Structure 1
Amino acid sequence: MQVKIEKTKEREMKGLTNFLNFINKWGTVIAVFILILFFTITMPQFIATSNLLTILRSISIVTVIAIGLTIALTVNGLDLSIGSAATFSNSLIVSFFVWYSMSTFTSMFIAIVITLTVAALNAILIVKVKIPDMLATLSTMFIFEGVAMTYTGGGSISEGMPRLDGTPTVGTLPPIFEKIGQAPYIIIIMLVVVVIVHIFLNHTKHGRYLYVVGGNMEAARLSGIPVDRYRTIAYLLSTFFAALGGIMIASRIGSAQINAGAGYLMPAVAAAFIGSSFGGSGKPNAIGTFVGAVLVGVLENGLVMMSVPYYSLNIVKGIVLALALASTYFRKRN
């Protein structure tokens, strides 16, 4: 009898373990479906095609910026400067159009290249000076927020506005550039970025090296992997996608606004950390980050439709982020 009881308990424990493992692997996807089901029951219009496209469009910029953060996380880094990098890129590209009447692709290229100075400074502070990544990127966050505000004179830039010295401007945002921020183009850009980074991280030598560096830096160094080079690459790519996100912001709102990218930092961090648990991978990954962004986007859209005050949304976002971080670090410690 005692043996039967022990076997029964063993089966129950095994079943519980399997259930918890399943939840750990697919909890994010399950949460998305539960939220969609809940909001659809309470508000049937939530499931309308137009609203689903609105959700995808709303998370496009967050996802692109979060993908950059995901790459930084692969080397066990944390880039808090992505919001200010997006703001800096947003200010630059609109100024190139309005103030200097530059062409679309020239403006985009120069804006991204200049914004990469954020990554260069991050790499110097983190890789060379050995400042912890959180503190280093916190510093550059404030630095480049200040640079962006100084560059724009502490205000916005839009068509018809004069330069800081009062000189009239005649530049406009090109129609082809404005399409970037519209559906379906902005959604397509997001999906292409997710697929490319997924392939890069999981199916190329360099992506695997990034994971090795993040898993055990000393072991990676002893294996002959140039650790400092790959950490620098991670921060360059993180800033690159933040700059791309800033360009998408400019196209979507049609102007450069003060701290335009600041509001994307927390949702991007939440999406990247939530995505780490996707499929039981236990590591930052592009597909998981996309699913994490969908979770945040569905939650925010549903709450707005339920007339929850906009100033209360950060409470929910903060709770989601706290749960994601708790889940991530609980798994690491166990």
Structure 2
Amino acid sequence: MEEQSLKINNPIKKEPLWQKSLTLINNWGTVIAIIALLVFFAVSIPEFMSSSNIINIMRSISIVTIIAIGLTVSLTVNGFDLSIGSTATLANSLVVSFFVWFSLPTGVSIALALFLALGVALFNAFLIVKIKIPDLFATLATMFIIEGVAMTYTGGGSISVGMPRLDGTPTTGTIPPLFSLLSQTPYIIILMLIVVAAVYFFLKHTKHGRYLYMIGGNIEASRLSGIPVNRYRTLAYIISAFLAALGGVVLASQIGSAQINAGGGYLMPAVAAAFIGSSFAGQGKPNAIGTLVGATLIGVLENGLVMMSVPYYSLNIIKGAVLALALASTYYTRRKN
């Protein structure tokens, strides 16, 4: 009798249909948007859904995804690494110079470029953890500094096969064929998926990943619970810089040279992918699978617009509008809750 009276006095409230719809959009809006775009472009452009074009889309988002996954890790600790584009540029310049200027082996050149690029992470950690500069401002400063370092290293120009060193010394180094394979299909796509899977497992299934999320949720509570907060914040920026550098190395393989601010154009797409992905499956936090889905949304949109001959100078308007809509569902629902 008591249980029946409780049920009568406290009836289960059904969630209104409009609220269910908002929840659905909030959790799966990115996937819904991708499906809608695929249908729209498939109807408008018959060759859009061809296997070669789908592979082309996956290949085109690989570098953005690798860099964005690094940014995702920095976001887990409530940070924001704006220096990822400059880090990619630095790694791009370093690895090509090792080939062309110094004729170093493939493995040594890649490892050395990645290792030296980690200096960016240590500099970021010093500014953020030791000096206590907010992440956004610290990495903004680092972005300009590293961009300047990369340009100074290359003499403000590009590095390509046959070009002399800055002092005029002739060079005989070449880009190894093995290195060029790194950016070709299917290797570049496989590398992207390995990075996504590794970071997903790290964040989801290890105590270190859980610690990063705890720090991002409440840094003081994490510190009081015994988590070495500064060490894990540093780790987040190390992973971010490493993956940004890896993206820069793959970019060098793709274009076969070192270009001025080559990684700068990947900053905003990476930011968009990471933030769009935060709402994936209702997780409400940075996650690797969501970032891949966010990058896919951007890749599908850009590829379809290019195939429809939309002027290049209008692409950012449309991509920005889609980003705003994708984020609006997340933050509007959060505010209502």
Q: TM-score range by the shorter chain?
A: over 0.9
Which residue number in structure 2 is paired with residue 246 of structure 1?
248
Which residue number in structure 2 is paired with residue 197 of structure 1?
199
Q: Do the aligned residues in 2 keep the contact of 1:273 with 1:328 (CA within 8 Å)? A: no
Which residue number in structure 2 is paired with residue 220 of structure 1?
222
In structure 1, C-alpha distance between the alignment counterparts of 2:327 and 2:151, rounded to whole Å: 32
Which residue number in structure 1 is paired with residue 170 of structure 2?
168
In structure 2, C-alpha distance between the alignment counterparts of 1:320 and 1:240, rounded to whole Å: 29
> What TM-score results when the alignment is normalised by the length of structure 2?
0.94
Q: Do the aligned residues in 1 keep the contact of 2:73 with 2:239 (CA within 8 Å)? A: yes
Task: Give 1:12 deviation, angstroms.
Answer: 8.1
Which residue number in structure 2 is paired with residue 36 of structure 1?
38
Count of aligned pairs: 325
Q: Is 1:186 aligned to residue 188 of structure 2?
A: yes
In structure 2, C-alpha distance between the alignment counterparts of 1:188 and 1:178, rounded to whole Å: 15
Taking structure 1 as reference, are residues 331 and 93 closer, same or farther at Cα in structure 2, changes over 3 Å only?
farther
In structure 2, C-alpha distance between the alignment counterparts of 1:327 and 1:148, rounded to whole Å: 39
Instruction: Kindly provide the amino acid, as one letter, of the partner of residue 37 in structure 1.
Output: V
* Partner SS for 2:80: coil
Which residue number in structure 1 is paired with residue 65 of structure 2?
63
Identify which of 145, 148, 158 aligns with 1:156: 158
Which residue number in structure 2 is paired with residue 126 of structure 1?
128
Task: Give 1:104 deviation, angstroms.
Answer: 0.8
Q: Do the aligned residues in 2 keep the contact of 1:58 with 1:297 (CA within 8 Å)? A: yes
Task: Give 1:99 deviation, angstroms.
Answer: 0.3
Q: Do the aligned residues in 1 keep the contact of 2:23 with 2:333 (CA within 8 Å)? A: no
* Partner SS for 1:116: helix
> What TM-score results when the alignment is normalised by the length of structure 1?
0.95
Task: Give 1:13 deviation, angstroms.
Answer: 5.2
Q: Could you give the per-residue CA deviations for residues 158-210 of structure 1, whole angstroms, max 9, x where no partner exists?
A: 11111111111110111111000111000000001000100000000100100
Structure 2 unmatched ranges of 5 or more:
1-11
Q: Do the aligned residues in 1 keep the contact of 2:29 with 2:326 (CA within 8 Å)? A: no
Task: Give 1:312 deviation, angstroms.
Answer: 1.4
Identify which of 46, 52, 55 aligns with 1:53: 55
* Partner SS for 1:130: coil
Q: Do the aligned residues in 2 keep the contact of 1:270 with 1:324 (CA within 8 Å)? A: no
Identify which of 57, 72, 75 aligns with 1:73: 75
Q: Is 1:278 aligned to residue 280 of structure 2?
A: yes
Task: Give 1:22 deviation, angstroms.
Answer: 1.6
Task: Give 1:319 deviation, angstroms.
Answer: 2.2
In structure 2, C-alpha distance between the alignment counterparts of 1:193 and 1:87, rounded to whole Å: 19
Cα RMSD, aligned residues only? 1.4
Q: Do the aligned residues in 2 keep the contact of 1:267 with 1:317 (CA within 8 Å)? A: no
Taking structure 1 as reference, are residues 327 and 79 closer, same or farther at Cα in structure 2, changes over 3 Å only?
farther
Task: Give 1:311 deviation, angstroms.
Answer: 1.6
Task: Give 1:18 deviation, angstroms.
Answer: 1.9
Q: Is 1:106 aligned to residue 103 of structure 2?
A: no
Identify which of 97, 120, 123 aligns with 1:95: 97
In structure 1, C-alpha distance between the alignment counterparts of 2:334 and 2:79, rounded to whole Å: 15
Q: Do the aligned residues in 2 keep the contact of 1:93 with 1:250 (CA within 8 Å)? A: yes
* Partner SS for 2:16: helix
* Partner SS for 2:310: coil
Which residue number in structure 1 is paired with residue 311 of structure 2?
309
Task: Give 1:23 deviation, angstroms.
Answer: 1.6
Q: Could you give the per-residue CA deviations for residues 50-92 of structure 1, whole angstroms, max 9, x where no partner exists?
A: 0001100000000000000000000011110000000000000
Farther off after superposition, 129-138 or 294-303: 129-138
Instruction: Kindly provide the amino acid, as one letter, of the partner of residue 278 in structure 1.
Output: F
In structure 1, C-alpha distance between the alignment counterparts of 2:124 and 2:332, rounded to whole Å: 28
* Partner SS for 1:160: coil
Q: Is 1:297 aligned to residue 310 of structure 2?
A: no
Q: Could you give the per-residue CA deviations for residues 188-245 of structure 1, whole angstroms, max 9, x where no partner exists?
A: 0000100010000000010010000001001111111011111110011000000000
Instruction: Kindly provide the amino acid, as one letter, of the partner of residue 103 in structure 1.
Output: P
Structure 1 unmatched ranges of 5 or more:
1-9
In structure 2, C-alpha distance between the alignment counterparts of 1:131 and 1:96, rounded to whole Å: 34
Percent identity, aligned pairs only? 69
* Partner SS for 1:221: helix
Which residue number in structure 2 is paired with residue 5 of structure 1?
none
